[in-house]
Chains A and B, each alone.
Chain A
Amino acid sequence: MKEDRPALELAIPVRARDFLAGGDGAAHIRQVLQQVGFPPAIIRRVAIAAYEAEMNIVIHSLGGELRAVITPDAITITALDKGPGIPDIDLAMREGFSTAPREIQEMGFGAGMGLPNIRRCADELEITSAVGEGTKLKIVIYNR
Protein backbone atom coordinates (compact mmCIF):
# COMPACT_ATOMS: atom_id res chain seq x y z
CA MET A 1 0.00 0.00 0.00
CA LYS A 2 1.36 3.40 -0.94
CA GLU A 3 1.81 5.86 1.89
CA ASP A 4 0.46 8.83 0.00
CA ARG A 5 -2.94 7.20 -0.37
CA PRO A 6 -5.53 8.84 1.89
CA ALA A 7 -7.11 6.76 4.62
CA LEU A 8 -10.43 7.22 6.33
CA GLU A 9 -10.72 5.91 9.86
CA LEU A 10 -13.83 5.20 11.85
CA ALA A 11 -14.12 3.95 15.42
CA ILE A 12 -17.51 2.97 16.74
CA PRO A 13 -18.10 1.82 20.32
CA VAL A 14 -20.25 -1.32 20.64
CA ARG A 15 -22.16 -1.97 23.85
CA ALA A 16 -22.68 -5.47 25.19
CA ARG A 17 -26.26 -6.76 25.11
CA ASP A 18 -27.56 -3.68 23.30
CA PHE A 19 -29.53 -5.56 20.68
CA LEU A 20 -31.39 -2.48 19.50
CA ALA A 21 -28.25 -0.58 18.52
CA GLY A 22 -26.36 -3.69 17.43
CA GLY A 23 -25.79 -3.33 13.71
CA ASP A 24 -25.73 0.46 13.70
CA GLY A 25 -21.93 0.47 13.48
CA ALA A 26 -21.88 -1.79 10.45
CA ALA A 27 -24.69 0.23 8.87
CA HIS A 28 -22.64 3.40 9.36
CA ILE A 29 -19.54 1.84 7.79
CA ARG A 30 -21.67 0.67 4.87
CA GLN A 31 -23.10 4.15 4.40
CA VAL A 32 -19.63 5.71 4.36
CA LEU A 33 -18.43 3.18 1.77
CA GLN A 34 -21.44 3.98 -0.40
CA GLN A 35 -20.73 7.70 -0.18
CA VAL A 36 -17.11 7.14 -1.10
CA GLY A 37 -18.23 5.11 -4.08
CA PHE A 38 -16.83 1.61 -3.58
CA PRO A 39 -18.29 -1.14 -5.81
CA PRO A 40 -21.50 -2.67 -4.39
CA ALA A 41 -19.97 -6.18 -4.27
CA ILE A 42 -17.14 -4.93 -2.04
CA ILE A 43 -19.51 -2.94 0.16
CA ARG A 44 -21.70 -5.98 0.61
CA ARG A 45 -18.82 -8.15 1.82
CA VAL A 46 -17.56 -5.47 4.22
CA ALA A 47 -21.06 -4.82 5.54
CA ILE A 48 -21.81 -8.48 6.21
CA ALA A 49 -18.45 -9.10 7.90
CA ALA A 50 -18.74 -5.93 10.00
CA TYR A 51 -22.33 -6.72 10.99
CA GLU A 52 -21.48 -10.24 12.15
CA ALA A 53 -18.41 -8.99 14.01
CA GLU A 54 -20.49 -6.28 15.69
CA MET A 55 -23.19 -8.75 16.70
CA ASN A 56 -20.53 -11.03 18.15
CA ILE A 57 -19.40 -8.19 20.40
CA VAL A 58 -23.01 -7.47 21.41
CA ILE A 59 -23.84 -11.13 22.09
CA HIS A 60 -20.68 -12.56 23.58
CA SER A 61 -18.56 -9.81 25.11
CA LEU A 62 -18.63 -7.17 27.80
CA GLY A 63 -18.35 -4.46 25.18
CA GLY A 64 -15.88 -3.28 22.61
CA GLU A 65 -15.23 -1.33 19.50
CA LEU A 66 -15.61 -1.66 15.76
CA ARG A 67 -12.93 0.08 13.73
CA ALA A 68 -12.65 0.63 10.02
CA VAL A 69 -9.63 1.83 8.08
CA ILE A 70 -10.64 2.63 4.54
CA THR A 71 -8.17 3.20 1.75
CA PRO A 72 -8.75 2.98 -1.98
CA ASP A 73 -6.99 -0.41 -2.02
CA ALA A 74 -8.48 -2.15 0.99
CA ILE A 75 -10.91 -1.93 3.83
CA THR A 76 -9.74 -3.20 7.18
CA ILE A 77 -12.30 -3.91 9.88
CA THR A 78 -11.05 -4.51 13.39
CA ALA A 79 -13.44 -5.77 16.06
CA LEU A 80 -12.01 -5.50 19.56
CA ASP A 81 -13.73 -6.62 22.71
CA LYS A 82 -13.27 -7.23 26.38
CA GLY A 83 -14.83 -10.45 27.51
CA PRO A 84 -14.56 -14.19 27.92
CA GLY A 85 -12.49 -14.75 24.76
CA ILE A 86 -12.77 -17.80 22.52
CA PRO A 87 -11.30 -20.96 24.09
CA ASP A 88 -11.33 -22.99 20.86
CA ILE A 89 -11.15 -20.90 17.69
CA ASP A 90 -11.31 -23.90 15.35
CA LEU A 91 -14.56 -24.98 16.97
CA ALA A 92 -15.96 -21.45 16.81
CA MET A 93 -15.18 -21.30 13.09
CA ARG A 94 -17.30 -24.38 12.44
CA GLU A 95 -20.67 -23.71 10.80
CA GLY A 96 -23.49 -24.42 13.20
CA PHE A 97 -21.41 -24.26 16.37
CA SER A 98 -22.73 -21.62 18.74
CA THR A 99 -22.54 -20.77 22.41
CA ALA A 100 -25.21 -18.08 22.10
CA PRO A 101 -28.17 -18.41 24.44
CA ARG A 102 -31.67 -19.23 23.23
CA GLU A 103 -32.92 -15.63 23.41
CA ILE A 104 -30.27 -14.61 20.87
CA GLN A 105 -31.51 -17.26 18.46
CA GLU A 106 -34.98 -15.81 18.75
CA MET A 107 -33.54 -12.54 17.44
CA GLY A 108 -32.25 -14.28 14.33
CA PHE A 109 -28.66 -14.74 15.42
CA GLY A 110 -26.64 -17.29 17.35
CA ALA A 111 -26.98 -19.99 14.71
CA GLY A 112 -23.25 -20.59 14.53
CA MET A 113 -22.85 -18.73 11.24
CA GLY A 114 -21.11 -15.58 12.46
CA LEU A 115 -17.43 -16.41 12.12
CA PRO A 116 -17.99 -18.67 9.06
CA ASN A 117 -19.84 -15.77 7.43
CA ILE A 118 -16.98 -13.41 8.21
CA ARG A 119 -14.44 -15.85 6.78
CA ARG A 120 -16.55 -16.20 3.63
CA CYS A 121 -16.48 -12.43 3.09
CA ALA A 122 -12.88 -11.70 4.05
CA ASP A 123 -9.73 -11.81 1.96
CA GLU A 124 -7.74 -11.98 5.19
CA LEU A 125 -8.97 -12.89 8.65
CA GLU A 126 -6.91 -12.87 11.80
CA ILE A 127 -8.39 -13.89 15.13
CA THR A 128 -6.54 -13.42 18.37
CA SER A 129 -8.24 -14.28 21.60
CA ALA A 130 -7.21 -14.60 25.22
CA VAL A 131 -9.56 -16.47 27.52
CA GLY A 132 -10.86 -14.17 30.23
CA GLU A 133 -9.53 -11.07 28.49
CA GLY A 134 -11.04 -10.56 25.08
CA THR A 135 -10.95 -11.08 21.37
CA LYS A 136 -9.58 -9.21 18.39
CA LEU A 137 -10.73 -9.83 14.85
CA LYS A 138 -8.88 -8.26 11.94
CA ILE A 139 -10.72 -8.50 8.64
CA VAL A 140 -9.19 -7.26 5.39
CA ILE A 141 -11.16 -6.93 2.18
CA TYR A 142 -9.32 -5.74 -0.92
CA ASN A 143 -10.90 -3.37 -3.38
CA ARG A 144 -10.26 -5.36 -6.54
Chain B
Amino acid sequence: MQLREIQAILEAEVFTGEDKLDLEVEAGFGSDLMSDVLAFARGRVLLLTGLTNTHVIHTAAMVDAAAVVFVRGKKPDPTLIEAAAGMGLPLLGTRLLMYDSCGRLFQAGLKGCSAELLGGEKSEERPPGGRTPAGERPGGRSPAKGAPPGIVLAANLAAAAGRA
Protein backbone atom coordinates (compact mmCIF):
# COMPACT_ATOMS: atom_id res chain seq x y z
CA MET B 1 0.00 0.00 0.00
CA GLN B 2 1.29 3.43 -0.89
CA LEU B 3 1.97 5.97 1.83
CA ARG B 4 -0.31 8.37 -0.03
CA GLU B 5 -3.22 5.97 0.38
CA ILE B 6 -2.41 5.56 4.07
CA GLN B 7 -2.43 9.31 4.49
CA ALA B 8 -5.89 9.51 2.93
CA ILE B 9 -7.32 6.61 4.95
CA LEU B 10 -6.08 8.07 8.25
CA GLU B 11 -6.88 11.66 7.25
CA ALA B 12 -3.32 12.31 8.31
CA GLU B 13 -1.15 15.37 8.17
CA VAL B 14 2.42 15.01 6.93
CA PHE B 15 5.09 16.40 9.27
CA THR B 16 7.93 15.44 6.95
CA GLY B 17 8.36 13.35 3.81
CA GLU B 18 5.76 15.03 1.58
CA ASP B 19 7.97 14.02 -1.36
CA LYS B 20 7.99 10.34 -0.32
CA LEU B 21 4.26 9.57 -0.41
CA ASP B 22 4.80 7.17 -3.31
CA LEU B 23 6.67 4.83 -0.94
CA GLU B 24 5.32 1.30 -0.84
CA VAL B 25 4.55 -0.09 2.64
CA GLU B 26 4.47 -3.87 3.17
CA ALA B 27 2.79 -4.20 6.56
CA GLY B 28 1.61 -2.29 9.60
CA PHE B 29 2.85 -2.41 13.19
CA GLY B 30 1.10 -0.57 16.03
CA SER B 31 2.84 -0.29 19.40
CA ASP B 32 3.97 2.12 22.08
CA LEU B 33 6.61 -0.37 23.20
CA MET B 34 9.70 0.15 21.11
CA SER B 35 11.28 -3.10 22.29
CA ASP B 36 8.30 -4.97 20.88
CA VAL B 37 8.74 -3.15 17.57
CA LEU B 38 12.38 -4.26 17.54
CA ALA B 39 11.33 -7.82 18.36
CA PHE B 40 8.38 -8.35 16.05
CA ALA B 41 8.34 -5.88 13.15
CA ARG B 42 9.16 -7.53 9.81
CA GLY B 43 9.67 -6.02 6.39
CA ARG B 44 9.11 -2.43 5.30
CA VAL B 45 6.54 -1.61 7.96
CA LEU B 46 4.47 1.41 8.77
CA LEU B 47 5.00 2.08 12.46
CA LEU B 48 1.93 3.42 14.28
CA THR B 49 2.62 4.77 17.75
CA GLY B 50 1.52 7.26 20.37
CA LEU B 51 5.08 7.86 21.57
CA THR B 52 6.81 10.97 20.29
CA ASN B 53 10.28 10.69 21.76
CA THR B 54 13.55 10.21 19.92
CA HIS B 55 13.44 6.42 20.40
CA VAL B 56 10.60 6.19 17.93
CA ILE B 57 12.75 7.32 15.02
CA HIS B 58 15.78 5.38 16.26
CA THR B 59 13.61 2.27 16.42
CA ALA B 60 12.09 2.97 13.01
CA ALA B 61 15.59 3.24 11.56
CA MET B 62 16.77 -0.01 13.20
CA VAL B 63 13.93 -2.04 11.71
CA ASP B 64 14.04 -0.20 8.35
CA ALA B 65 10.49 1.04 8.79
CA ALA B 66 9.08 2.86 5.76
CA ALA B 67 7.33 5.58 7.76
CA VAL B 68 5.87 6.51 11.15
CA VAL B 69 2.31 7.57 11.95
CA PHE B 70 1.67 9.26 15.30
CA VAL B 71 -1.83 8.39 16.49
CA ARG B 72 -4.19 10.07 19.00
CA GLY B 73 -3.27 13.54 17.71
CA LYS B 74 0.27 13.36 19.12
CA LYS B 75 2.64 15.85 17.56
CA PRO B 76 6.40 15.35 17.49
CA ASP B 77 8.51 18.38 18.38
CA PRO B 78 10.47 20.24 15.66
CA THR B 79 13.79 18.63 16.67
CA LEU B 80 12.33 15.19 16.07
CA ILE B 81 10.80 16.22 12.74
CA GLU B 82 14.13 17.65 11.67
CA ALA B 83 15.99 14.47 12.66
CA ALA B 84 13.50 12.32 10.74
CA ALA B 85 13.79 14.57 7.71
CA GLY B 86 17.57 14.14 7.85
CA MET B 87 17.10 10.37 7.84
CA GLY B 88 14.59 10.46 5.00
CA LEU B 89 11.94 8.98 7.29
CA PRO B 90 8.41 10.27 6.61
CA LEU B 91 6.39 11.25 9.71
CA LEU B 92 2.61 11.49 9.62
CA GLY B 93 0.03 12.28 12.28
CA THR B 94 -3.62 11.33 12.70
CA ARG B 95 -6.26 12.32 15.24
CA LEU B 96 -7.59 8.77 15.14
CA LEU B 97 -6.91 6.44 18.06
CA MET B 98 -4.57 3.46 17.69
CA TYR B 99 -7.30 0.83 17.30
CA ASP B 100 -9.21 2.82 14.74
CA SER B 101 -6.07 3.67 12.77
CA CYS B 102 -4.97 0.03 12.60
CA GLY B 103 -8.53 -1.12 11.87
CA ARG B 104 -8.97 1.22 8.94
CA LEU B 105 -5.64 0.23 7.41
CA PHE B 106 -6.22 -3.49 7.92
CA GLN B 107 -9.65 -3.21 6.35
CA ALA B 108 -8.07 -1.48 3.38
CA GLY B 109 -5.73 -4.43 2.94
CA LEU B 110 -2.58 -3.54 4.88
CA LYS B 111 -1.60 -6.68 6.76
CA GLY B 112 0.16 -6.97 10.10
CA CYS B 113 3.28 -8.88 11.16
CA SER B 114 1.62 -11.82 12.96
CA ALA B 115 1.55 -14.21 10.03
CA GLU B 116 4.89 -15.86 10.63
CA LEU B 117 4.26 -16.11 14.38
CA LEU B 118 0.96 -17.89 13.79
CA GLY B 119 2.15 -19.88 10.81
CA GLY B 120 4.63 -21.75 12.99
CA GLU B 121 7.43 -20.39 10.88
CA LYS B 122 10.57 -19.43 12.73
CA SER B 123 10.05 -15.98 14.12
CA GLU B 124 13.68 -15.55 15.04
CA GLU B 125 15.77 -12.84 13.51
CA ARG B 126 18.60 -15.27 12.97
CA PRO B 127 18.08 -16.71 9.51
CA PRO B 128 18.64 -20.48 9.30
CA GLY B 129 21.49 -21.10 6.91
CA GLY B 130 21.87 -17.46 6.09
CA ARG B 131 18.44 -17.06 4.54
CA THR B 132 17.28 -13.48 4.32
CA PRO B 133 14.35 -12.89 6.70
CA ALA B 134 11.00 -12.27 5.06
CA GLY B 135 10.55 -8.76 3.86
CA GLU B 136 14.19 -7.79 3.91
CA ARG B 137 15.19 -6.15 0.70
CA PRO B 138 18.72 -5.25 -0.12
CA GLY B 139 18.94 -1.60 -0.92
CA GLY B 140 15.66 -0.79 0.81
CA ARG B 141 17.19 2.39 2.06
CA SER B 142 20.27 3.98 0.60
CA PRO B 143 23.18 4.39 2.99
CA ALA B 144 23.72 7.81 4.47
CA LYS B 145 26.18 9.96 2.58
CA GLY B 146 29.45 11.25 3.97
CA ALA B 147 31.67 9.02 6.05
CA PRO B 148 31.98 9.90 9.73
CA PRO B 149 35.51 11.00 10.69
CA GLY B 150 38.07 8.53 11.89
CA ILE B 151 37.11 5.69 9.65
CA VAL B 152 40.24 4.79 7.80
CA LEU B 153 39.73 1.13 7.09
CA ALA B 154 36.20 1.37 5.73
CA ALA B 155 37.26 1.26 2.10
CA ASN B 156 39.41 -1.85 2.59
CA LEU B 157 36.69 -3.40 4.64
CA ALA B 158 34.04 -2.65 2.06
CA ALA B 159 36.03 -4.51 -0.54
CA ALA B 160 36.61 -7.40 1.83
CA ALA B 161 32.96 -7.54 2.95
CA GLY B 162 32.00 -7.90 -0.68
CA ARG B 163 34.27 -10.94 -0.96
CA ALA B 164 33.09 -12.62 2.25
Q: Given A20-B54, A40-B138, A111-B33, decide whether A70 and B124 contact each other with a Cβ distance below 8 A.
A: no
Contacting pair A35 B163 (CB below 8 A): no
Q: Given A27-B61, A117-B39, A143-B161, decide whether A48 and B125 contact each other with a Cβ distance below 8 A.
A: yes
Interchain CA distance A71-B53 in the complex, whole Å: 33
Interchain CA distance A117-B40 in the complex, whole Å: 9
Interchain CA distance A116-B154 in the complex, whole Å: 31
Residues of A within 8 A of B153 (CB): 6-8
Q: How far is the CB of B40 from chain A (nearest CB, A)?
A: 9
In the complex, whether B88 has a CB less than 8 A from a CB of chain A is no
Contacting pair B53 A108 (CB below 8 A): yes
Residues of A within 8 A of B160 (CB): 5-6, 71-72
**Chain A: number of interface residues, binned into ranges:** 35 or more
Interchain CA distance A8-B151 in the complex, whole Å: 8
Contacting pair B38 A37 (CB below 8 A): no
Q: Given A32-B151, A44-B63, decide whether A72 and B163 contact each other with a Cβ distance below 8 A.
A: yes
Residues of B within 8 A of A47 (CB): 61-62
Q: How far is the CB of B125 from chain A (nearest CB, A)?
A: 5
Residues of B within 8 A of A32 (CB): 148, 151, 154
Other-chain residue from A36, A40, A110, A143 in contact with B140 (beta carbon distance below 8 A): A40
In the complex, whether B76 has a CB less than 8 A from a CB of chain A is no
Residues of A within 8 A of B58 (CB): 23, 26-27, 51
Residues of B within 8 A of A116 (CB): 39
In the complex, whether A97 has a CB less than 8 A from a CB of chain B is no
Interface size on B, residues (CB 8 A): 47
In the complex, whether B157 has a CB less than 8 A from a CB of chain A is yes
Interface residues of B in 61-91 (CB under 8 A from A): 61-64
Which listed segment binds A: B4-12, B19-27, B104-112, B127-135? B127-135
Interchain CA distance A140-B138 in the complex, whole Å: 22
Q: How far is the CB of A100 from chain B (nearest CB, A)?
A: 10
Interface residues of B in 119-164 (CB under 8 A from A): 124-127, 130, 132-133, 136-141, 143-144, 147-148, 151, 153-154, 156-158, 160-164
- Most chain B beta-carbon neighbours within 10 Å: one of A5, A34, A48, A143: A48
Residues of A within 8 A of B144 (CB): 31, 34-35
In the complex, whether A17 has a CB less than 8 A from a CB of chain B is no
A interface residues with partner B (beta carbon < 8 Å): 5-8, 19-20, 22-23, 26-28, 30-32, 34-41, 44-45, 47-48, 51-52, 70-73, 105, 107-111, 113-114, 116-117, 120-123, 143-144
* Subset of 8 A-B contacts with CB under 8 Å: A27-B62, A37-B143, A40-B64, A44-B125, A48-B63, A73-B164, A105-B33, A113-B33
